[in-house]
Amino acid sequence: MKILVGNWKMNTTPEEGISLLERISNLLTNEVVGDVRVVVAPPSLHLIPSVEKLWENPEIAVAAQNCHHKDSGAFTGEISPEMLLNSEVDAVILGHSERREYFKETDDLVALKVKAALKHHLIPIVCVGEKLEQRKSGTFLNDTWTQLKIALSDLSPEGLADVVVAYEPVWAIGTGEVASPDQAQEMHAFLRGKLKETFGTGELPILYGGSCKPSNADDIFAQLDVDGGLIGGASLNADDFLLLVEKLRKS
């Protein structure tokens, strides 16, 4: 399964967001998208307008960028998975490196969020990846697998089948650096092998999420175990996002 997720992060005003979404929706016709599953993850203020705007375009799904692990409660500023479900949101990004770094989210908290998302029929896009010091020390493969193993702990086979994994080399996010195609393939193949060994299946989609853009996407998407991309900056440009969809479809 080929998947392209556009993570807008904390960018665009509501007006700018809808304008970008209209442009993306007009470009991504059935003929363009083919067998690629396209997802956009706008800021939370844009979620309901985005769902409404895309109601007549079945080619694009909507994801939230985060959620709480409880259904309700005294958690000021948070959004529950139940709220997302009732807003017709399809998926949610969990454990993004920026959530781990800036908001101190732990592996155990990510695991709670994954279970909460699945309980409410949301597709969790589970992010894992190493920092620069872990790559330099040589522990990056096992360190990244530990994150993923904890995130998926105690899931049923049915729950596991609905999970999407995104590998983020943290050292390549927002830095202009990018993992080489061989480095991306090495991690994706390792995670797939460990998933099969531990959970009995290696069929989960594994996306690459490290400064992927039209200029380097061909080589990344050509790798055997790369099933698509979690796209940051390039998802804020409709023409770049279109190019990435086309490159993934042809890969």
pLDDT at 71: 96
- C-alpha separations of 118 from 12, 105, 194, 248 in Å: 29, 19, 22, 27
Give per-residue pLDDT as tens, 215-230. Answer: 999 999 999 999 999 9
pLDDT at 177: 67
Distance in angstroms (rounded) separating the CA atoms of residues 30 and 20: 19
Instruction: List the chain residues with pLDDT less than 50.
Output: none
pLDDT at 132: 87
Q: What angle do CA 137, 143, 146 make, to 5 degrees?
A: 165
- CATH number, position 204: 3.20.20.70
Distance in angstroms (rounded) separating the CA atoms of residues 86 and 119: 13
Strand-pair category, 91-94 with 60-64: parallel
- Domain range holding 124? 2-250
Q: Render 163-212 in DSSP notation, one character per residue.
A: -EEEE--GGGSSSS----HHHHHHHHHHHHHHHHHHHS---S-EEE-SS-
Residue 16 falls in the annotated catalytic set: no
Q: Render 89-142 in DSSP notation, one character per residue.
A: --EEEES-HHHHHHS---HHHHHHHHHHHHHTTPEEEEEE---HHHHHHT-HHH
Distance in angstroms (rounded) separating the CA atoms of residues 153 and 193: 16
- Give the count of beta carbons closer than 10 Å to the beta carbon of residue 136: 11
Contacts of 49 (CB under 8 A, 6+ apart): 14, 17, 18
pLDDT at 211: 85
- Encode burial over 35-48: b for 16+ CB neighbours within 10 A, e otherwise: ebbbbbbbbbebbe
How does DSSP classify residue 13? -
Give how many domains the chain has, as a whole number: 1
pLDDT at 175: 67
Phi-psi region of 179 (alpha: psi -120 to 50; beta: other; left: phi over 0): beta
The counts of H helices and E strands in the chain are 12, 8
Residue 59 falls in the annotated catalytic set: no
Report how far apart the first and last C-alpha atoms of the chain are (Å, whole number): 12
From 59, 98, 105, 168, the catalytic residue: 168
Q: What is the pTM of this model?
A: 0.97
Give per-residue pLDDT as tens, 93-150. Answer: 999 999 999 999 999 999 999 999 999 999 999 999 999 889 889 999 999 999 999 9
From 96, 98, 120, 188, the catalytic residue: 96
Residue found by looking up tokens 């702990």 in the block: 153
pLDDT at 176: 64
Residue 8 — φ and ψ, nearest 5°?
A: -75, -15
Distance in angstroms (rounded) separating the CA atoms of residues 90 and 88: 6
